[in-house]
């Protein structure tokens, strides 16, 4: 999420247009993200949970620079992990485990709409690059299969949110809430594994596309300087 400073003295902002402190043009943020994928066919087929693992640690960090008073450019680097297992999917008494790490880089242009000297709204659009490393392990009563895969996915996103300054001193601090929808390309990462299982078991299963498009809700803590 992004923010770009704070306004003038609380006693003066009603008398003239709200202006952001011109010497606070950069910020660094810690983000706690909750992600929900809208296309879960890949995870449903293998019988595992599609939600990334949750921890108390931040899942992404952001850096923003303001070029104009109400326009900012934000860069976000983040990480998600899915480590799930299941069974009885393709045959009775089979088992499957999926381990997938995703590293992503986001570029966003955001427009800010100050409501007061402490509170403002924002909206923006941007580009996504997701780097995926994963492993699928599948075992039935006759064979064990393992597939390692790596993919780079490209896409875009739109976001909106609000931010509130809780500290207005030399290095202002703000908290924020952001909603983002991401649209990414899909990839059939399990195609080789499905083909091997079909050949060995004389089956006709179809590969399922891995698609990480979906919704993200983020809480942020940001320092401005």
Which residues of the chain form beta strands (DSSP E)?
Answer: 26-37, 60-68, 71-87, 95-114, 119-139, 144-167, 173-184, 214-224
| pLDDT of 3 strictly over 50 | no
CB 126 within 8 A of CB 106: yes
| Domain 26-224 falls under CATH 2.40.160.20 | yes
Q: Can you give the pLDDT at residue 142?
A: 82
Residue 18 has pLDDT above 50, yes or no: no
- Under the banding of pLDDT at 50, 70 and 90, the label for residue 113 is very high
Report the distance separating Cα 167 and Cα 103, nearest Å.
Answer: 32
């Amino acid at each position: 999420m992004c923010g770009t400073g704070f306004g003038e003295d609380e006693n003066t902002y009603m008398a003239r247009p709200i202006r952001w402190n011109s010497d606070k043009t950069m910020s660094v943020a810690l983000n706690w993200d909750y992600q929900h994928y809208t296309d879960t066919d890949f995870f449903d087929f293998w019988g595992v949970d599609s939600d990334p693992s949750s921890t108390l640690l931040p899942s992404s960090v952001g850096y923003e620079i303001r070029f104009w008073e109400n326009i900012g450019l934000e860069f976000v680097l983040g990480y998600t992990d899915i480590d799930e297992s299941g069974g009885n999917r393709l045959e009775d008494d089979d088992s499957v485990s999926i381990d997938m790490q995703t590293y992503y880089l986001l570029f966003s242009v955001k427009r800010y709409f100050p409501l007061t000297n402490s509170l403002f709204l924002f909206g923006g659009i941007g580009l996504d690059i997701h780097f995926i490393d994963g492993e699928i392990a599948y075992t039935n009563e006759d064979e064990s299969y393992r597939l390692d895969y790596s993919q780079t996915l490209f896409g875009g996103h739109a976001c909106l949110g609000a931010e509130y300054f809780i500290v207005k001193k030399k290095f202002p601090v703000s908290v924020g809430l952001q909603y983002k929808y991401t649209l990414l390309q899909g990839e059939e990462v399990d195609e080789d594994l499905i083909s091997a299982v079909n050949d060995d078991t004389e089956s006709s299963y179809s590969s399922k596309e891995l698609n990480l498009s979906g919704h993200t809700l983020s809480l942020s803590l940001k320092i401005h300087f």
